[in-house]
Every structure is written in C-alpha cells, then in structure tokens.
Amino acid sequence: MNKIIKKLLTVTFPTININNLLEVVTATPNPELATEILCGLYEEPVLPRVVQETSGDKRELTFKSYNKWEDKVCYSYIKEKTINGYFPKGTVREEITLENFTERKVDWKSGMDQVSFSLKTGETSVDTSYCSSVNWLGYTNLDYQFTEMLAQEMLDNPENYGLI
C-alpha cells in the first residue's frame, strides 16, 4: 500500500479504523482514484465531445462515455465497410470492382499462388472502441471548431436564434 495514500486517509478520516478503510480502498480497481474521491480531490478530466485522429485514417471520433475507474473513453466512429478476397497471383488491384469481385476471387485453400485485396463497398457502419483519456486528449479537438461555426452561423442569421 502506498504510504502517501495511507497517510492522507489517516489525516482525512482520523476517527475511522484506517485498516478497514484501506481494505475497502485497495479492493477497488483503482486505489489512487478511490482515495482522491474519498478525500474530495478527484476532478474528472474535461474531455472534448468530438475529436479527430492525428494519424492513420484521421477518422472523426465521437465521445460516448468515460469510465473513471479504468480511465477508459468509449467512443464511436463511422467505418467504411470493406470486402476481402483472394485472387490469382498476377491480378492487378485496379481490375477488381464490386461488379466482378465475386466471380474473380478464389478460395484461399485452392493451392494456387494468390494475392489478397480489400475493396470498399460504399456502405458505412457505426463502430465503438475505447482508449485512455490521455490518448483521447492527444487527438485533434473538433469541439472548438463546431463552436466557432455555430457562432458564425448565429452572427450571420441572428433571426433564426431569437437574437433580433
């Protein structure tokens, strides 16, 4: 047990049996967080509602929830659906279309030399994933851009917002 946690709990709760309190605190998934909550020190991170990945696909991610015990941000994003298949070696990627995909693909167990391709279907789905709050805060914050766009819209059309 962390000596600082023990001392802080002892000072904060002088009339409570510290060993019983420590037993409860250490039974949580995050004893440091439990101590901060008990001592009134915990501050939930301010997390933007919409961010964009800074590398890779640079998808727009939408905040859904935050689990403080696991420091886990749950978010959703739009994913473009793809189909995957194996094709005879020598097949050129650009020759494969949605129209000829099924007829040109071969079974991966066919024994012939093959190449693998993925093809976007044009359909999308909403997926959910997770990351830490540190990672979430490392993405590009799009909340302020929305706020700026809304402010400009309100300035341009004040009658639509009851400002005239």
User: Do 72 and 28 sit in the same domain of this protein?
Assistant: no
Q: pLDDT 10s digit of each residue in the chain, 164 long?
A: 578 888 989 999 999 999 999 999 999 999 999 999 999 999 999 999 999 998 888 899 999 999 999 999 999 999 999 999 999 888 888 989 999 998 888 887 777 788 888 999 999 999 999 999 999 999 999 876 656 666 677 778 777 767 67
The predicted pLDDT at position 161 comes to 61
Range of the domain at 23: 3-38
Residue 13 belongs to a domain: yes
Residue 53 backbone dihedrals phi, psi, to 5 degrees: -55, 145
Residue 141 backbone dihedrals phi, psi, to 5 degrees: -75, 120
Residue 43 belongs to a domain: no
The predicted pLDDT at position 153 comes to 72
The predicted pLDDT at position 159 comes to 79
pTM of the model: 0.69
The predicted pLDDT at position 129 comes to 97
- Per DSSP, the residues of 27-53 read TSS-HHHHHHHHTT--------SEEE-
User: Do 56 and 7 sit in the same domain of this protein?
Assistant: no
Residue 145 belongs to a domain: yes
Number of domains in the chain: 2
Q: Across 89-149, where does the E strand assignment appear?
A: 114-132, 140-141
Residue 123 belongs to a domain: yes
> How is residue 45 written in tokens?
């991170």
Residue 128 belongs to a domain: yes
Instruction: Mark out the alpha helices in 61-132 (DSSP H runs).
Output: 101-104
The predicted pLDDT at position 25 comes to 93
Spatial CB neighbours of 113, under 8 Å, sequence gap ≥ 6? 88, 89
User: Do 80 and 148 sit in the same domain of this protein?
Assistant: yes
User: Do 56 and 32 sit in the same domain of this protein?
Assistant: no
> How much helix, strand and coil, in percent to the nearest 5, is found in the chain?
35, 30, 35
Amino acid at 36: E
Residue 45 belongs to a domain: no
User: Do 28 and 62 sit in the same domain of this protein?
Assistant: no
User: Do 77 and 152 sit in the same domain of this protein?
Assistant: yes
User: Do 31 and 69 sit in the same domain of this protein?
Assistant: no
